Amino acid sequence: DAGVIQSPRHEVTEMGQEVTLRCKPISGHDYLFWYRQTMMRGLELLIYFNNNVPIDDSGMPEDRFSAKMPNASFSTLKIQPSEPRDSAVYFCASSLASDTQYFGPGTRLTVL
Amino acid sequence: GNSVTQMEGPVTLSEEAFLTINCTYTATGYPSLFWYVQYPGEGLQLLLKATKADDKGSNKGFEATYRKETTSFHLEKGSVQVSDSAVYFCALSARDSNYQLIWGAGTKLIIKP
């Protein structure tokens, strides 16, 4: 199995630009999670989906953040407009039901 | 609510030393407990887990026992290696949290040769 795939691995952008992060979960998994990791705040759950439906987006910091899952094999996290304080590593994870979550390698986002 | 508390790091040890990283939890019912590891520049990986009281999870020489009486899930390894240097996260999953992982803050482990 290829594991969870994320792209890009690194993204450097300027303040005000739109950023789109992509995730392909493990085939057959029905849960997908987006996390953000920073030194200051640690690991934060932003949003998660079950069977492509957003279940809890209470961790999304503000309206500049949005996430979609158009099908079982693809999800996006979009930030528009981006700000320097959005700089972080963003992880996608997937799981089968309530079992172990498998993480992708992460996208390191730098907003200048 | 449910929560996880880990010992603060960094923890610095010499190679071949004995390792303990403490983890305690607060939860109603019977959560599942996990240890994840994050190596530098990588995502989190499941290290081990336990799903019921007195279960022992083990992997790569690491062990942790689910202790309901002390609400603990301490991570241990008898002889650490430089390659074990990483950040270790304790987490729980419980029905009343919709089985979402509740994370500890992470403990950075540094092993010196």
Mean pLDDT for the stretch of residues A76-93: 97
Cα A3 to Cα A27, A75, B27, B43: the distances in Å are 9, 15, 30, 11
A42, A55, A91 member nearest B43 (Cβ): A91
3-state SS assignment for residue A58: coil
Check residue A47 and give its pLDDT: 96
Rounded to a whole number of angstroms, the distance from the CA of A42 to the nearest CA of chain B is 6
Check residue B36 and give its pLDDT: 97
Which residues in chain A are contacts of B45 at CB distance < 8 A?
Answer: 103
Lowest mean pLDDT among A8-12, A26-30, B35-39, B93-97: B93-97
> pLDDT (tens digit, 9 = 90+) per residue, B68-96?
999 999 999 999 999 999 999 999 998 87
Touching check for A105 and chain B: CB below 8 Å? yes
Q: How far apart are CA B29 and CA B55, in angstroms?
A: 16
Which residues in chain A are contacts of B49 at CB distance < 8 A?
Answer: 100
Low-confidence stretches of chain B (pLDDT < 50) are: none
Touching check for A25 and chain B: CB below 8 Å? no
Check residue A1 and give its pLDDT: 63
- In chain A, which residue's Cα lies nearest the Cα of B98? A98
Mean pLDDT for the stretch of residues A87-98: 92
Instruction: Report the relative pairing of strands A31-38 and A42-50 from DSSP bridges.
Output: antiparallel
**CB of B73 within 8 A of CB of B23?**
yes
Rounded to a whole number of angstroms, the distance from the CA of A48 to the nearest CA of chain B is 9
State what percent of residues in chain A have pLDDT above 70.
98
- CA-closest candidate to residue B27, choices B87, B110, B93, B80: B93
Mean pLDDT for the stretch of residues A21-47: 94
